[in-house]
Chain A
Amino acid sequence: MSAPTLTPVTRADAEDFLYAEAALLDEWQLDSWLALFEVGGTFEVPTTDYKGWDRTGGGFFVLDDWDLLNARVKRLKSRKAHAENPHSRTHRMVSNVRVEQAGDGVTVKANFVINRFRDLTHHTYVGRYVHDLAVTAEGLKFRHRRAYLEHELLEHGARLSFIL
């Protein structure tokens, strides 16, 4: 049996995908954002002292399976998600994009800087994305979406009530 042939994913493809995602999140188009995941996709943000543990090994800030990811989006669309009503203003910069292709998927790594404004204060979130993407007929889809913070801790007021 021959290995499935895949159209190579270029850095430009990955950048287009990440930039479009960043725009959806900055515009709070959360249903469209959720549609960037394949069914069963996951989202993780480990704690700031992360040392490489898996989903059984240690602390996380976000540890969403597909059901929780859907619950998170549903919650954030509600006016009763008090921590994000009114919504934060976010402004995302994504750069240093690298593509590693293997098997039926591709891993995309990138750096991010997200500025968030709310309650007349400003927080900057700095970190790395490491996403496992599926290559589908409809384009790239998130299989495992991961955001790693560089911070030593979340400073006063810097919660993760929005999507990192």
Chain B
Amino acid sequence: MTQTMAEGLVETGHGGLIAQDWNALTFRVNREAYRSAEVFQAERDRIWNNSWLYLGHETEIPKNHDYKVRTLGGKPLIFVRGGDGVVRAFLNSCPHRGTVVCRDEAGNARNFQCFYHAWTFNSSGKLSALPGDDAYAELDRFKGSMDLRPVAKLDIHEGFVFVSFSPDVPPLLEHLGDAADVLSMAAEQSATGMTTLPGIQRYGVKGNWKLAVENAMDGYHFSPTHNTFVGYLRETGFPVTDDDQYAYDLGNGHSMLVLTGHNGRLGMIWEPRFGEAEKERTRLNREAMAARLGQERADTIGDASRILFVWPNLLFFDLEALTIRQLEPVAPGRTDVRAWQYVPTDEDEDVRAMRLKTMTSFVGPGGLATPDDIEAYEAVQRGIEASKGDARGFNDWSDMSRGMEREAKGEKGRSIDEGAMRSFWRHWDQALGAVPGLKATTYESGC
């Protein structure tokens, strides 16, 4: 919807929940986007049931018959490597009556047996046995129709496993677009390969999932929110800076911050808290990378930290060390989070210990920084109740206008501007469209 007003052009998106004013150079999001049950349901239908979603990494199930159960878009799934070595994902629900088939969290199993009526499926999903099968007409045809239900699509890029509950999605690489190479850059960091480690940080936040995306794509919050962490880095001898760092819209809802002044990078850019021994190792590692990948590629990978958002549920942090983070919305104001360490397979024990210590010092609900991000999502989720139903001006709209003037001039967006958040919200608006039954205040331009 576009309103032409005396002040200029205001675009209010497909559903009236974003408002970008190219005259006043403001960008605002209606707070029902974070609060409304109707929006949440529409997101489930049109985004989570209609897009590639990050499921997990294939190194989580390295051996044949290894499995993990995991809920994605509200659907319980089994993520399993079959006896043929093929990675698959099935609905964790018996085709017979719908019982959860696998009630363990993880393990290695040649067969999954539903306890209710003892139907047995092999690790490739095939119904192998059901008790009393003589009572079924056309048994072979019947049995053949009752295998575990696979997700509609599954594809893998550099070990990152994505699934879709809809068959009508573009090929994975087309969906990933420019984000694909960012994941490749991470995967290329070790000559012997990269792997996830056991030990998933699983936690829940009392905030809408989009607040977690915004926070990751928001360089503006770093200094005030992480004041104590910035102080800690400064004391160890690393001066944090926001200068000369940029945000990129990668298309299809994906976005990225490229950061050079937030931290060192283990094996890539030395900083004092890594210790003297790491200095020489870093130099040798960079030389080896340049020999293996070419100088230009090695420098692109090594010289900058990256925070990548892959629409709609994957955040990839290539910072001091590497972390995969998956978002699972469970209610408008509730999000489940899973986070994995992603590490080179060939790393010395002392370097690995430093990597885990360094990443854990920042990331996760027990780190020295992430708890302040969680406090931010939760304080926003509580705070936006204040303006609910308030039709005055744009009281019930959150502001993301920072850097709009640079954007309008076509200048490169800084990480401390809010451009990556704007590109996220524009894509969200397009993916969601109008939300039936939603009562939200309309945007009053020029207020």
A binds B: yes
Given contacts A56-B353, A59-B197, 20 further A-B contacts (CB under 8 A): A45-B366, A50-B199, A57-B198, A61-B360, A61-B365, A61-B366, A63-B360, A64-B361, A68-B357, A68-B361, A71-B361, A75-B231, A82-B375, A153-B336, A156-B205, A156-B206, A156-B334, A156-B336, A159-B365, A161-B371
B339, B356, B372: the one within 8 Å of A55 (CB): B356
Q: Is the CB of B361 within 8 A of A49?
A: no
User: Once the chains are docked, how many angstroms separate the CA of A78 from the CA of B230?
Assistant: 13
Mask, B201-227, CB within 8 Å of A = 1, is 111111000000000000000000101
- Which chain B residue lies CB-closest to A76? B228
- Asked if A83 lies at the interface with its beta carbon under 8 angstroms from chain B, I say yes
Collect the chain B residues with CB atoms within 8 Å of residue A50's CB: 199
Q: Residue A138 at the B interface, CB < 8 A?
A: no
Taking CB atoms, residues of chain B closer than 8 Å to A84 are 371
* Bound form: Cα–Cα A37–B339 in Å: 30
B232 CB, min distance to chain A CBs, angstroms: 5
Considering only residues 53-91 of chain A, those with a C-beta below 8 Å from chain B are: 53, 55-65, 67-68, 71-72, 74-75, 78, 80-84
In the complex, A156 Cα to B335 Cα: how many Å?
Answer: 7
Measured between alpha carbons, how far is A80 from B205 in the docked complex, in Å?
Answer: 20
Q: Is the CB of A155 within 8 A of B366?
A: no
**Given A56-B349, A56-B353, A71-B232, does the pair A161, B201 have CB atoms closer than 8 Å?**
no
Whether the pair A75, B232 counts as a contact (CB closer than 8 A) is yes
Instruction: Tell me the nearest residue of chain B to A43, going by C-beta.
Output: B366
User: How far is A156 from B287 in the complex, measured between Cα atoms in Å?
Assistant: 45
Q: Which of B200, B236, B334, B364 has the most CB of A within 10 A?
A: B364
Q: Are A83 and B375 closer than 8 Å at their CB atoms?
A: yes
The total of chain B residues at the interface (CB under 8 A) is 47
- A115 CB–B CB distance under 8 Å: no
How far apart sit A164 and B372, CA to CA, in the bound complex (Å)?
A: 17
Q: Are A160 and B365 in contact (CB under 8 A)?
A: yes
Chain A residues with CB below 8 A from B235, complex form:
71
Q: Does A111 contact B (CB under 8 A)?
A: no
A101 at the interface (CB under 8 A from B): no
Closest to A62 in B: B366
Q: Chain B 171-212, CB within 8 Å of chain A: the 1/0 string?
A: 000000000000000000000000001111111111000000
Asked if B105 contacts A49 (CB within 8 A), the reply is yes
A-B Cβ contacts below 8 A, count: 137
Task: Knowing A80-B227, A119-B378, say if A155 contacts B368 (CB, 8 Å).
Answer: no
Point out the residues of chain A lying under 8 angstroms from B367, CB to CB. 61-62
CA of A64 to CA of B183, assembled, Å: 29
> Which residues of A sit under 8 angstroms from B198, Cβ to Cβ?
49, 51, 53, 57-59
User: Which residue of B225, B335, B336 is within 8 Å of A82 (Cβ)?
Assistant: B225
Question: CA A45 – CA B229 in complex, angstroms?
Answer: 20
Q: Which range holds the interface residue count of chain A?
A: 35 or more
Q: A61-B365, A63-B361 are in contact. Are A156 and B204 (CB under 8 A)?
A: yes
- In the assembled complex, the CB of A33 is this many whole angstroms from the nearest CB of chain B, namely 16
A126 to chain B, nearest CB (A): 16
- Of residues 331 to 358 in B, which have CB atoms within 8 Å of A's CB atoms? 334-336, 339-341, 349, 352-353, 356-357
Is A41 interfacial (CB-CB < 8 Å)?
no
Which residues on the A side are within 8 Å of B297 (C-beta)? none
Q: Residue B374 at the A interface, CB < 8 A?
A: yes
- The answer to whether A49 touches B382 (Cβ under 8 A) is no
A159 and B357 within 8 A (CB): no
Establish whether residues A161 and B204, one from each chain, have CB atoms under 8 Å apart when the complex forms: no
A61 touches B376 (CB 8 A): no
Query: Do A161 and B376 have beta carbons less than 8 Å apart?
Result: no
Chain B residues within an 8 Å CB radius of A81: 228, 372
- Contacting pair B375 A61 (CB below 8 A): no
What are 17 A-B contacts with C-beta separation under 8 Å?
A53-B199, A56-B352, A57-B198, A59-B198, A59-B201, A61-B364, A61-B367, A63-B361, A64-B361, A83-B371, A84-B371, A154-B365, A156-B334, A156-B336, A157-B204, A161-B365, A161-B375
Residues of B within 8 A of A47 (CB): 199-202
76-110 of chain A: CB within 8 A of chain B:
78, 80-84
- Asked if B366 and A159 make an inter-chain contact with CB atoms under 8 angstroms apart, the answer reads yes
Q: In the complex, A47→B366 CA distance in Å?
A: 10
Residues of B within 8 A of A156 (CB): 204-206, 330, 334-336
